[in-house]
Structure 1
Amino acid sequence: MKHSVSLLLAASLLAAQAQDAPQTNLPRVTLSAGMHQIDAQVALTPDQRSIGLMFRKEMPQHEGMLFAFEQPSTQCFWMKNTILPLTAAFVADDGTIVNLADMKPQTTDSHCSTKPVRYVLEMNQGWFAKKGIKAGFKLGGTPFAGR
């Protein structure tokens, strides 16, 4: 009995640590923004989307996270437990950026799409601005092909 209690305690401690760990093993997709390539992790499930980029201490400039939802709808994001300053691009099915939102780390401020979208691409804050990418710009890649 004592052994199973210590195993249970160890398992719950590991689970608690895992909740505070960044997810870095998600599938990846290459997206294009004009001549720029983006290596994006893809968050497909509700659990993957709810964790997102939480707990990440750094992210290379050419990397991001693409959140893919089942249906287009108004998507709202916040930055609780997210350390990195990010910009969210709310993206229509065809890859067109509907709107961009700079998001401040570790806040519960809500940042929403101005129209229903299926995709949200998070990049390091300033990435889109440095590349001159604004609302109306069309991203390329497999998720947006044929739409």
Structure 2
Amino acid sequence: MKHLPLLLLPLLAACSPTAPKAEKSSTPATQQAALLPLAIHTAKGTHRFAVETAVTERQQEQGLMFRKAIAADGGMLFPMNPPRTASFWMKNTLIPLDMLFIRTDGSIAFIAANTQPYSREPVSAGVPVTAVLELRGGRAAELGIAEGDRVSWGKCADPAGKSRPGLDFCPPQAR
């Protein structure tokens, strides 16, 4: 009976609230599986991307902070449901980003190009948007992406591609 407390000690430690949680780890393989197809339709053609999504408040707060690189066809999409006037900053962001603010009709309202790493200056389109897309800094100019171009994602960007429930965005056809 004297040894019972010693036997219970490992069990109590295993139930401790400070024990690491498996859900907190994020490996590149997990991120790769969660990529969402996205297409930007320009006057010169369609550019395809495979982007991460920041859906939860915590994911949106983290964004692309502390990243050292973004793939040429990569980025991060921040869906806004309901649409709202979004404001972003570059605190703890190591690399320049292009921020594309997307209206509810799928058109790009504003592009903040090559935003300054570590800046605390807010960046906003000043109008309600349905999403913000962050790409590697300078990528929009490289591809000729401009305000007014149209964006779609999920099954609407690639009907044969992967989709996530509630993340398909099919803007109405331009007139």
Where on the TM-score scale, by shorter chain, does this alignment land: which range?
0.7 to 0.9
Q: How does 1:99-114 map to 2 (within 5 A)?
A: 99-102=110-113, 103-114=115-126
Q: Indicate whether 1:115 and 2:127 are aligned.
A: yes
Q: Indicate whether 1:50 and 2:61 are aligned.
A: yes
Q: Quickly say closer, same or farther: Cα 1:44–1:112, change in 2 above 3 A.
A: same
The one of 67, 81, 97 aligned to 1:86: 97
Q: Indicate whether 1:139 and 2:125 are aligned.
A: no
Alpha-carbon distance in structure 2 between the residues aligned to 1:145 and 1:29: 14
Give the superposed CA RMSD.
2.9
Q: In the alignment, which residue of structure 2 is the partner of 1:125?
A: 137
Q: Flag structure 2 segments of 5+ consecutive residues without an equivalent.
A: 1-8, 157-167
C-alpha deviation, 1:45, in angstroms: 0.6
Alignment size in residue pairs = 144
User: Residue type of the partner of 2:120?
Assistant: T
Alpha-carbon distance in structure 2 between the residues aligned to 1:126 and 1:111: 16
Alpha-carbon distance in structure 2 between the residues aligned to 1:136 and 1:146: 13
Alpha-carbon distance in structure 2 between the residues aligned to 1:10 and 1:56: 27
Q: In the alignment, which residue of structure 2 is the partner of 1:32?
A: 39
Q: Is the 8 A contact 1:93 1:144 kept in 2?
A: no
Alpha-carbon distance in structure 2 between the residues aligned to 1:26 and 1:47: 19
Q: Quickly say closer, same or farther: Cα 1:25–1:69, change in 2 above 3 A.
A: farther
Q: Is the 8 A contact 1:92 1:117 kept in 2?
A: yes
C-alpha deviation, 1:8, in angstroms: 6.8
User: Residue type of the partner of 1:68?
Assistant: P
C-alpha deviation, 1:24, in angstroms: 3.9
Q: Is the 8 A contact 1:31 1:139 kept in 2?
A: yes
User: Residue type of the partner of 2:84?
Assistant: S
- Please report the TM-score for the alignment, with normalisation by the length of structure 2: 0.69
Q: Is the 8 A contact 1:26 1:41 kept in 2?
A: no
C-alpha deviation, 1:140, in angstroms: 2.7
Q: Which has the larger radius of gyration?
A: 2
C-alpha deviation, 1:55, in angstroms: 0.9
